[in-house]
Homo-oligomer: A and B are copies of this chain.
Amino acid sequence: MVIGGDAAGMSAASQARRRRDPGDLEIVAFEQGRFTSYSACGIPYWIGGSVGGPDELVARSPEEHRKQGIDVRIRTRVTAIDLDSRTVHACDLEAGHEYDEHFDCLVYASGSVPIRPPIPGIDAAGVFGVQTLGDGAVLRDELDDSVRRVVIIGGGYIGLEIAEACQVRGLDVTVVDKAATPVGTFDPDIGSFIADAVRGMGISMILSDGAAEIETGSSGRAVAVHTEAGRRLPADLVVLGLGVRPNVSLAEEAGIPLGTSGGIAVDNRMRTQVEGVWAAGDCVESVHRLSGRRVVVALGTHANKQGRVVGINIGGGYATFPGVIGTAVTKVCDLEVARTGMSEAEADAAGFCYLTTAVDSTTRAGYFPGAEPIRTKLLAEKRTGRLLGAQIVGREGAAKRIDVLATAIWNEMHVDEILSLDLSYAPPFAPVWDPVLIAARKAFETVEADSRK
């Protein structure tokens, strides 16, 4: 039995189905929305108009899953889990009837929910989170001709992606964020590039100032956001871009233990601490391979991998999820930004001493048409030179280079090893020293100079 019909849950279901026949293993999946296996990450582009809609964003529909022998029940909410009787209590939201269903083996894949800070007016009409494809549909419907001004609370990945989408639609967009620079998973020096890019496309960005209250009009609908510093930002629509938290309420009530991070605690095979209960996706915590800490990282790519691991294990195979290193990428207008490993704040918190270096280069040979700027910042451990983190900011062709550094971190490489890597070179693709190698060389020189002190 699977709770949650998106990436993690349905990957688990599909993998288990591939390994065990319907006669041997019955699979039921509950999904409270109408869609299964969709790309939530694509929603901003649907809103912005560059992607067509649910048909394009759904990788596999409920019907397609049913054809594979998975009993998908959409518009059905699980309201309770009873671990003693091994049953869930389900509510068919369309027909309105409730029923219990027995399980031998449970996959908890309930995803995440947008963070809604307890400020006055947060629950008013006209205030939207963007999490599910259903949310996206609602928001798109709202963005009719009556809407001209959009205020986005929070300048994280989703906040900025939605801001850009609204800007593309010709709306007047303001982003407000408590921090001094947007996207807090980046160091402030990289964040300031992001802020410049956002402003450069005509989006207002108010930093170091959080939302304090949402003002509602006579109809009860949000009409403005008031900030802590006393600004009043008129809004026809308010979008929450404050990130997400794991959707663990059902698990908590049932007694499935959470970890220190607030996500569901799982082992390497994605088993919870309750026999026969598995969990995967945005609702679980993962091991950060560098800090050793438990972290919750809500990303479709992890959800897919974790779901696969669950499905293989339930199917009788053996698979593990080896943890994360915090890799992420996004695009803000023409600016590409990416990160992996630890930021300065994370490295500080984990107790590492490190040196930082930043190097400017180009995505292709400097003389080659289409060469774009790329800045690569590295955090290398003091003395050892082990790579602890990397951040890239640049234009077309810049960001995906983070994957090389992610693979290097994964393998615990030191910057002096990285600078010798045999990476591909030809003028249309890189300078003769790839930006990644130049950055490693500079970091190595910095570590060496520091060691002589």
Contact = CB atoms under 8 A, between A and B. Distances in A.
Interface string A399-412: 11111101110110
Contacts of A56: 367
Interface string A44-65: 0100001110001100000000
Nearest to A305: B420
Contacts of A399: 424, 429
A282 B304 CA distance: 45
Contacts of A432: 7, 39, 41, 300-301, 304
Given A45-B368, A301-B434, A340-B422, 18 more contacts: A39-B427, A41-B425, A42-B365, A42-B367, A51-B367, A299-B425, A301-B425, A301-B432, A321-B420, A322-B420, A326-B422, A329-B425, A331-B428, A336-B429, A399-B429, A400-B401, A403-B403, A403-B423
A219 B50 CA distance: 61
B401 A421 contact: no
A427 B368 contact: no
29 contacts: A39-B367, A45-B428, A157-B426, A300-B432, A301-B425, A301-B432, A301-B433, A304-B433, A305-B419, A320-B420, A323-B422, A327-B423, A328-B424, A329-B424, A329-B426, A331-B428, A331-B429, A340-B424, A400-B429, A402-B424, A403-B403, A403-B423, A403-B434, A403-B436, A406-B421, A406-B424, A407-B408, A407-B411, A410-B422
Contacts of A326: 422
A88 interface: no
Given A411-B413, A432-B7, A300 B39 contact: no
A327 B338 CA distance: 24
A200 interface: no
Can you list the 6 inter-chain pairs with the closest CB atoms, starting with the nearest? Answer: A329-B424, A56-B367, A411-B411, A301-B425, A407-B407, A327-B422
Contacts of A430: 400
Contacts of A325: 422
Nearest to A408: B407
A369 interface: yes
A33 interface: no
Contact of A406 (B329, B336, B422): B422
A244 interface: no
Contacts of A425: 41, 299-301, 327-329
Interface size class of A (residues with CB under 8 A): 35 or more
A425 to B, nearest CB: 4
A323 B422 CA distance: 8
Contacts of A257: none
Contact of A424 (B305, B327, B424): B327
Interface in A279-320: 299-302, 304-305, 320
Given A407-B408, A407-B421, A368 B42 contact: yes
A81 interface: no
Contacts of A300: 425, 432
A324 interface: yes
A346 B213 CA distance: 67
A330 interface: yes
A122 B50 CA distance: 55
Contacts of A421: 403, 406-407, 410
B426 A330 contact: yes
Nearest to A299: B425
A397 interface: yes
A451 to B, nearest CB: 13
Contacts of A419: 305
A367 B404 contact: no
Contacts of A408: 407
